[in-house]
Structure 1
Amino acid sequence: MTDTAKLLQFVRARRKSFLLVGGAGVVALAALAYSGTGRTQQQPPAQPPVPVRTVMAERRDVRHEIEAVGTVESLQEVVIRSQVDGVLTRLHFAEGDLVRRGQLLATIDDRPQRAAFEAAQAQLARDSAQLRAAELDLARYQSLVARNAISQQMVDQQRAQTEQLRATVRLDSANVETARVNLSYTRIVSPVSGRVGIRRVDAGNLVRTSDADGIVSVAQVNPISIVFPVPQVRLADLRASARDAQGAVVEARDRDGGGRLDTGRITAFDNAFDARTGTGRVRAQFANGAERLVPGAFVAVRMRTGVTPGAVVLPAVAVRPGVEGHFVYRVTNGAVQRVPVTLGYTNDEVAVVTRGIVPGNVIVRDGFSRLRDGAKVTVSGNGAAGTGQ
């Protein structure tokens, strides 16, 4: 064998050894990476328990209530305006007074109206005298024509004149009545019983019938009413409650402190719904003896529409909305279970659960952000521990 052939044989042997060693190294590295990945998937790091606050489902009677915000409205509110033009001579009230129906509030200079009234009376007296004379002449003409002393034409003319004077007297009587009414307008009286507001004109000013602001306003304050909207879905229950003498009570409360202002009863329902809000307007009437309800004020109202006896009750915040319906997280042996529930009556504070849980179940009420079905939890605060179902 030549030197060249020996050299080629040596090179081929070295290349084969290098390929075998390199391939074995790659296989070893791949095996090591696979074994490391398998250990990572089989042993994930443990998640810490989620801190939550819990509440225990209880059984008790639940009153059905509707809450809304209403506006206090006077049952009668009148702007006192002058019905004749003239100078306002005197105001007979103090601002804020409680006045009775028919009570004198203001007087207007009545000299022009009084003069017109006296002129109308004089005109009536004059035409009445002429009518009496014409009636006497007609009676004489009728007796003369019976003896053929005068023509029938003269009698007919006298009768026509008498009828004309009768019409004139009726017109004069209407003028007298008009003048009397205008004279009465110079004494302005309250058409309703209520409380007067702040005067809008002072004595000595010229007032006109076209004045939009008027002289003063009078608002009835006792009784008084509150008008409030009710959702369409709750209106049927409220109507049924209004027919019950014990269930139609409406409480008016202060919006700030929540203190009760007065109690009343529903008196009217509007004849149509508001299509924009899906609500119907309701009016409730209150005695308002202490006058704690002031027209124009916003107040909270609360109405009782019924009661669910022996209901399974949770705080409303413990019930979560979902795509398939409402659900709760029930705590059992340190873990949570997602439980679908069916609700009955609900409001902003409580929820009545008709199916899904029983009294004594421990339910999560706060700490939902990291919860999932089966997650471990730790109860913080004063919540129940949830050691069983």
Structure 2
Amino acid sequence: MSRFWKIALVVVVALVLLGVGLRLLHKPGGPQPGQARAQGKEGEQPPVPVTVVPVARQNVPVYLTALGTVQALNTVAVSPQVSGRLLSLEFTEGQPVKKGQVLAQIDPRSFQATYDQAVARLHQDQAQLATARANYSRSQELAPKGYIAKQDLESLRNTVTQLEATVAADQAAIRDAEVQLGYTKVISPIDGLAGIRGVDPGNVVTTASTIVTLTQLHPINIMFNLPEQNLDMVRQASRGGGELSVAALDRGDAHVIADGGVLKVIDNQIDASTGTFRLKSEFPNAGNALWPGQFVNVRLKVRTVDGGLVIPAQAVQRGPDGDYVYLVQADNTVKMQPVQVAQEVGDSAVMVATGLKEGERVVTEGQFRLKPGSKVNPLKPGEVPPAPTATEMAKARQGGHRRAH
């Protein structure tokens, strides 16, 4: 094929393609420039339905939080005060015991024998004392008549005094033997909960043996530490009169497991190694929600802020420049409003220090569809947008068909 025919073929193909393009462009029913603009206007995004809540003003309690350890009010390791064979245990492991309750019985026979010997010795010495007193009394009657020498009279008087001392010693020995005999019954010194027994009946126990450990759970203490920079705040709050309230939360810091606690003691020194100071709180623990050795989150109320600005916690978003909320303006458009969160209020709200005013509306649900300047349909919490009308549905379908074209 010559060069001329090649050029002619290329020109023909180009003309054919140009004609097809012009035909498609002017095809009846195709979008005209004015129609395209009208379609874009109809295709604008409708207002985004969002839940909004006004900024409220309320009294907000200020809390200090820390990790605490539950500690029994009293912990007693019960040990026998005399040695001997353990006959029986009179408590049930893990069950409450009362103060004065018998916990264990040690073989009392040897101690009973010692007590009986002391009593017998007392009777013997009392008989001798009675004889000595009688002799001394008769001698006093005979001494004026010269029948008893003065030296013998003094000897009789000294014998009476000596036997009186012996009787007093016998009485003390009886009391000691009685105490030792009483120690064969091991008594609970407190109301508490019995732990796991340390010895079994039949074994010989000594004063170094631990029979059981008792813990007093009502009331119960929680020990916790706070940074030293909080010391002045806590001390000033405690000087204001009344006891500071304390609550115990679970490890997830989501649920209160014990309330009604009060701050009892602020330690008298700061730990130089940690820069913290210790505090002791006391809880009634009526339902046994707290257990010795348990770790809990402690919330100490130190004061109340009057008229704080409060919004739901889910309204606060985290951005690269800090916290912000979507603020609904008068024309129902939104803007990103930077805020500074002062503290949490309960489990679902926060107090805002700066950035908002009372009565302003913030978006709490639907933020993921928003950007600055978006038009919104503000709804109250729990309210749902109305169902679309037939006209709106038709427009939506028409717009869908046009976009498909």
The answer to whether the superposition gives a TM-score over 0.5 is yes
The equivalent residue for 2:20 is none
| SS of structure 1 residue aligned to 2:148 | coil
Shift of the alpha carbon at 1:201? 0.8
Q: 1:247 to 1:112 in 2, by over 3 A?
A: closer
Counterpart code for 2:106:
I
Give the whole-Å Cα distance in 2 for the aligned partners of 1:317 and 1:167.
90
Closer/same/farther in 2, CA of residues 140 and 266 from structure 1, 3 Å limit: same
1:328 deviates by 8.1
- Unaligned runs of at least 5 residues, structure 2: 1-52, 328-333, 362-366, 375-405
Aligned residue pair count = 306
1:138 to 136, 139, 143: 136
Q: Which residue of 2 aligns with 1:158?
A: 156
User: Which residue does the alignment assign to 1:31?
Assistant: none
| Mapped contact 1:87–1:207 kept (Cα < 8 A) | yes
Partners of 2:85 and 2:202 within 8 A in 1: yes
Indicate which of 68, 71, 86 corresponds to 1:70.
68
For residue 84 of structure 1, report the CA deviation from its aligned partner: 0.4
Could you say which residue in structure 2 is the equivalent of 1:276?
273
Deviation digits for residues 260-313 of structure 1, max 9, x if unmatched?
211111122222222222222111111111111111111111122112234467
- The answer on 1:197 being equivalent to 2:184 is no
- CA contact 1:313–1:353 (8 Å) conserved in 2: no
Tell me the residue number matched to 2:223.
Answer: 227
* Equivalence for 2:80: 82
- SS class of match (1:75): strand
Deviates more, 1:114-123 or 1:306-315: 306-315
The percent of aligned pairs where both chains have the same amino acid is: 35
Matched residue type, 2:284: A
TM-score normalised by L of structure 1: 0.68
What is the identity, as a one-letter code, of the residue corresponding to 2:215? A
Q: Distance in 2 between matches of 1:233 and 1:207?
A: 52
Alignment partners' CA distance in 2, 1:72 and 1:278: 22
How far apart, CA to CA, are the structure 1 residues paired with 2:268 and 2:194?
Answer: 32
Kindly state the Cα deviation for residue 382 of structure 1 after the two structures are TM-superposed: 6.1
**Given the superposition, is the C-alpha separation of residues 100 and 336 from structure 1 closer, same or farther in structure 2, using an over 3 Å criterion?**
closer
* 1:203 shift after superposition: 0.6
Q: Does the 8 Å CA contact 2:68/2:224 hold for their aligned counterparts?
A: yes
Candidates 242, 245, 259, aligned match of 2:255 = 259
Query: 2:183 is matched with which residue: 182, 185, 189?
Result: 185
Matched, 1:297 2:302: no
In structure 2, the residue matched to 1:286 is 283
- Return closer, same or farther for 1:386/1:193 CA change in 2, 3 Å cut-off: farther
Aligned partners of 2:100 and 2:243: how far apart in 1? 38
Distance 1:251 1:185, change over 3 A: same
The 3 A distance-change label for structure 1 pair 382 and 95 is farther
Residue aligned with 2:61, SS? strand
CA distance in 1, matches of 2:172, 2:189: 25
3-state SS in 1 of match to 2:115: helix
Give 1:215 deviation, angstroms: 0.5
The code of the aligned residue for 1:235 comes to L
Q: 1:237/1:345 Cα in 2 relative to 1: closer, same or farther (>3 Å)? A: farther
| Counterpart AA for 2:245 | V
Partner of 2:94, secondary structure, is coil
Looking at structure 2, the residues matched to 247 and 173 of structure 1 have their Cα atoms a distance apart, in angstroms, of 52
